Structure 1
Amino acid sequence: MMYRNILAIAAINGLLATILGAYGAHGLKAELSDTLWSAYRTANQYHFYHTLALLALAAFASVRPWPKLAWVAWGWQIGIVLFSGSIYALALGAPSWMGPVTPLGGLTLMCAWGLLFQQALAKKDV
């Protein structure tokens, strides 16, 4: 059952990443400076990368339901919101105090990848 939740999270992220990518390309590109457009694209790329990772995790969880895979999925989801979300917001004119949120999101993404690595090397399924 865990894989269905992860799949649902991936589906929502895929939808949002597609909408935000299309909105950026067709509605924002002409309005943003080159620097802000580059930041927006980076946010969208990482959003998509981690959406694809969530899809792969859902597929893996359907075959091998390790309990800590849910932690990996939530780490990626929180990381997407903090990392990509803060960059999207900054590109759209959010206050500069949101800037420090971005590295927290990146750290969250890295921790989730590290947990996946740790689980892959675990001697037994936990």
Structure 2
Amino acid sequence: MWTARNWMTLAALLGLAAVAGGAFGAHGVADPKARSWLQTGAEYALAHVLATFACAILAQFGARRVGLAAGFFLAGVVLFTGSLFAMGLGGPRWLGAVTPIGGLSFMVGWAALAWAARGVRRP
């Protein structure tokens, strides 16, 4: 079962991957396009890893539907950032077709977070 603890663990691991990918892009890649993909992927991943931590906090305040948002954020990191990282590391360009699916997942996650926030109780 997906709990706040599981979301935070996966988010932390994806944050680690984001920092590693961003650092590699900044220091280990000569191709400007690949560097840009790695940087963009890292930035979006880190933002949505933090959003996932916000979901875990909201869950503590009784936001019952917040797991939906966390799931979409984490799926977005895997799809959006994963496809950009793969292309930045030499993967096939057709992976670029996956990137917008991850972006859509981010947007659905934000909409779900807004919906979940409406259910927050006062502490």
- Do they fold alike, i.e. is TM over 0.5? yes
Aligned length: 120
Q: 1:82 aligns with which of 57, 76, 79?
A: 79
Q: In the TM superposition, what are the counterparts of 1:46-57 in structure 2 within 5 Å?
A: 46-57=44-55
TM-score where L is the length of structure 2: 0.85
Q: CA RMSD in A?
A: 2.1
Is the partner of 1:99 in helix, strand or coil? Answer: helix
In 1: Cα distance, 2:57 partner to 2:119 partner? 19
Give, as a single letter, the amino acid of the residue that structure 2 aligns with 1:23.
F
Give, as a single letter, the amino acid of the residue that structure 1 aligns with 2:54.
A
Q: In the TM superposition, what are the counterparts of 1:56-67 in structure 2 within 5 Å?
A: 56-61=54-59, 63-67=60-64
Q: Percent identity?
A: 38
Residue in structure 1 matched with residue 18 of structure 2 by the alignment? 17
Structure 1: segments with no counterpart, 5+ residues: none
Deviation at 1:122, TM superposition (A): 5.2
TM-score where L is the length of structure 1: 0.83
C-alpha contact 1:2 1:65 (8 A) present in aligned 2: no
In 1: Cα distance, 2:54 partner to 2:65 partner? 15
Give, as a single letter, the amino acid of the residue that structure 2 aligns with 1:60.
L
